[in-house]
Structure 1
Amino acid sequence: MLFEIYEYALIQREKIISKVKNAKEMLENAKSKWIEYEPSPKRSILAGVDSSFNYIVYKGFYLYAIAGVSIAGDGSFLAKPEMEVDATNLPYDKVGYDGAIGMDDKGFISPRNELLARCIEVEHDLASKSMDKADYILIDGSLLARFYDRRNRRFVAVYEYAKELMRSSKVLFIAKSSASNAMLRGNLADIYYFSKATLNAGYALSVQKAGSDDITVVYARLKQCTPIIKVEIPGERSEQEVRGMLNMLYPESISGYPYVLRLAHERCKISNDDMLKLADMLGLSIEEGGREVLNE
Structure 2
Amino acid sequence: MAPIHRTIVDEAREVKPLVERLVRERSEKSIMCPGLLGFRPIETGKRPDNTVAVDGGNRSRDYREFTIYLARAWAGGGVGESLLHSIGVVVPPSDAEARISIYREILEAVAAKDAVAGGGGGLLLLDGSPSTALKWWRPGLSRWGLKMSAAIAEAEKILPRLRDKGLIPACEPGGCVETLLEKAARRPASSRAAMILGTVTEDIERLRWIVAVEVAEKLYMYKAMLEEAWDRGYTPVFVAKTSRSTEMCRGPIADAAYIEVRAPLNPSYAIARGDLMVKEGLSSMLGIEVGEGDGRFIPDVAGLREFYEDLAELSTYARLSPGGPILRISILLPGGDRRLSDHLGLLDSILPQLAGLSPSGYPVLLLVAHERARVSGEDLERVSLLLGLSLREVSRGVLRI
TM-score of the two chains, using structure 2 as the length reference: 0.61
Shift of 1:164: 4.9
Q: Which of the numbers 267, 275, 281 marks the counterpart of 1:201?
A: 267
Q: Report the residue type matching 2:14 in the other structure.
A: I
Shift of 1:7: 3.7
Following the alignment from structure 2 to structure 1, what is the Cα–Cα distance between the partners of residues 38 and 5?
43
Residue in 1 that maps onto 2:350: 245
Is residue 84 from structure 1 mapped to residue 86 from structure 2 by the alignment? yes
Q: What SS class does the counterpart of residue 245 from structure 1 fall into?
A: helix
Tell whether the 8 Å contact from 2:37 to 2:270 is kept in structure 1 after alignment.
Answer: no
Q: Which of the numbers 43, 49, 55 marks the counterpart of 1:44?
A: 49
Tell whether the 8 Å contact from 2:42 to 2:351 is kept in structure 1 after alignment.
Answer: no
Residue in 2 that maps onto 1:97: none
1:57-136 paired onto structure 2 within 5 Å: 57-72=62-77, 77-78=80-81, 80-86=82-88, 88-91=89-92, 109-132=94-117, 133=119, 134-136=121-123
RMSD: 2.8
Q: Relative to structure 2, which stretch is displaced further, 253-262 or 147-156?
A: 147-156
Following the alignment from structure 1 to structure 2, what is the Cα–Cα distance between the partners of residues 227 and 23?
16
Instruction: Give aligned pairs, total.
Output: 272
Residue in 1 that maps onto 2:244: 179
Residues 85 and 163 of structure 1: CA distance in aligned 2, closer, same or farther (over 3 Å): closer
Unaligned runs of 5+ in 2: 145-211, 272-276, 284-308, 334-339
Q: Which of the numbers 151, 170, 182 marks the counterpart of 2:235?
A: 170
Q: What SS class does the counterpart of residue 132 from structure 2 fall into?
A: helix
Shift of 1:161: 4.1
* % identical equivalent positions: 23
Q: What SS class does the counterpart of residue 23 from structure 1 fall into?
A: helix
Q: Report the residue type matching 1:51 in the other structure.
A: G
Shift of 1:8: 4.9
Residue in 1 that maps onto 2:131: 144
Q: What SS class does the counterpart of residue 31 from structure 2 fall into?
A: helix
Residue in 2 that maps onto 1:94: none
Structure label with greater radius of gyration: 2
Q: Relative to structure 2, which stretch is displaced further, 115-124 or 273-282?
A: 273-282
Residues 109 and 170 of structure 1: CA distance in aligned 2, closer, same or farther (over 3 Å): same
Q: What SS class does the counterpart of residue 267 from structure 1 fall into?
A: helix
Residue in 2 that maps onto 1:22: 25
Q: Deviations over 1:185-219 (max 9, x none)?
A: 11111112222333221001422353244311121
Is residue 229 from structure 1 mapped to residue 230 from structure 2 by the alignment? no
Shift of 1:166: 5.4
Following the alignment from structure 1 to structure 2, what is the Cα–Cα distance between the partners of residues 2 and 219?
45
Residue in 1 that maps onto 2:215: 155
Q: What SS class does the counterpart of residue 41 from structure 1 fall into?
A: coil
Q: Deviations over 1:251-281 (max 9, x none)?
A: 2224111111111111110012321233234
